[in-house]
Amino acid sequence: MKIGLPLEIMIGEGRIALTPCDCKQLVDAGNTVYLQQDAGKNSAYPDSLYKDYGVEIVANAQQLYEQAQLIVKVKQPLAQDIQYLRQHHVLFSYLHLAADIELIESLRAIGLCAIPFESVVGEDGGLPLLAPMSQVAGRIAMIRGASLLFRNRGGRGVLLGGVDGSDRGQVVVLGAGIAGSHAVAVAASLGACIDVLDIDEEKLQQLKTQHPSIRTHRSTPETVAELCTEADLVIGAVLLAGRRAPVVLPKSVVRQMHAGSVIVDIAIDQGGCVEGIHATSIEQLCYSEYGVIHSAVPNMPAAVARTSSQSLSSAILPYVHELATIMDSDTELSVTAREEGALQNQSYRQTSLRQAMAICHGEVVDTILRQELQREPSMV
């Protein structure tokens, strides 16, 4: 199988989907791996290291897309990428399609197959390819939020952990999933006063067991309003797999927050869980509205590109192996192949990949995504 690793071109992006040593495993298994020149540079992986492991370096994106069949990248394709995508390609990447109708239409028009990392489900029912970046994003969100509270950044001038004779900073984390739990871990290590909200009582209990000092609450509009209006820092970490993020922090509450308080919305990839929030970037981290600092960077883990690349690569490698096997054997990645009867003899990874497919030869086949698109009948 011919596998292509393009250079990521989103603003501030520096991750690479597969590290050199993981590429070596694919090459040793008989695959050909192509790397666009300098695609690993911002993760401190030079072309020479990939070349040492048998990867073929190509000069530009056009050459890479012409050579490869399986495109493995980190972030969703932008216009410069889309011009090179063709019907024979299988795209394996973070896509966040529920929040990007225009991208769905572009991929449908090409007629390719697209499998979002974030839709792949593991044997335990978790999301093994989303989890690594959720961990990173949760930690970065808390670190970034803490720094935005500094007075020279426009914040309230609050040190989250406080010191002798001072109050501790008040942190509210909306969501007790992977991103939220990692945000809590950082906040707890800083010594902040932490409230966590979720609708899943089991997740809240698990988090309380890990961090006994935190306060946990079942999420209701009333509780969100009561806690967030008094918070120094709010982390939005709400996820509904495959769907747009629900809005849990309305503008009416944001308006009542302290001047100089901070909101960091990790859910911005899926549309954001804060009403009216818009994406920021690594170059322009935040903006102020109603006197409250808002930060919502879609590719937050790119700030620690090497760490993120290593974690992502190790997670996706087994699935890239499986995809290469399926494609190399001429097994059809089709809608009919997703039927339960056709999946009985597949490995769990192969089954998971087929069931995670969002677009198959130009047709939207993911059930949840189709439901999300009901407001756009022409798309379905």
CA 145 to chain centre: 18
Q: How far apart are CA 102 and CA 100, in angstroms?
A: 5
Contact 6, 81 (CB under 8 A): yes
Burial 325-336 (b: 16+ CB within 10 A, else e): bbbeeeeebbee
Beta bridge pairs of residue 198: 218
Q: Is 269 in the active site?
A: yes
Q: Is the dihedral of CA 153, 158, 159, 163 positive or negative?
A: positive
Q: How far apart are CA 106 and CA 108, in angstroms?
A: 5
- As given in the structure block, the two tokens for residue 335 are 């809608």
Catalytic site residue from 195, 198, 232, 269? 269
Of 64, 75, 71, 56, the residue nearest 15 (C-alpha): 75
Q: Is 258 in the active site?
A: no
Tell me how far CA of residue 8 lies from CA of 51, 133, 301, 309, 353, in angstroms.
19, 16, 13, 12, 23
CA 368 to chain centre: 18
Of 278, 281, 276, 275, the residue nearest 300 (C-alpha): 281
Do you know the residue count of the chain? 380
CA count, 13 A, side-chain hemisphere, 196? 33
Q: N- to C-terminal Cα distance for the chain? A: 31
Catalytic site residue from 96, 182, 265, 294? 96
Residue 26 carries which DSSP code? H
Q: How far apart are CA 155 and CA 142, in angstroms?
A: 14
Contact 297, 282 (CB under 8 A): yes
CA angle 189, 194, 197 (to 5 degrees): 130
Q: How far apart are CA 207 and CA 12, in angstroms?
A: 32
| Residues forming the active site | 96, 269
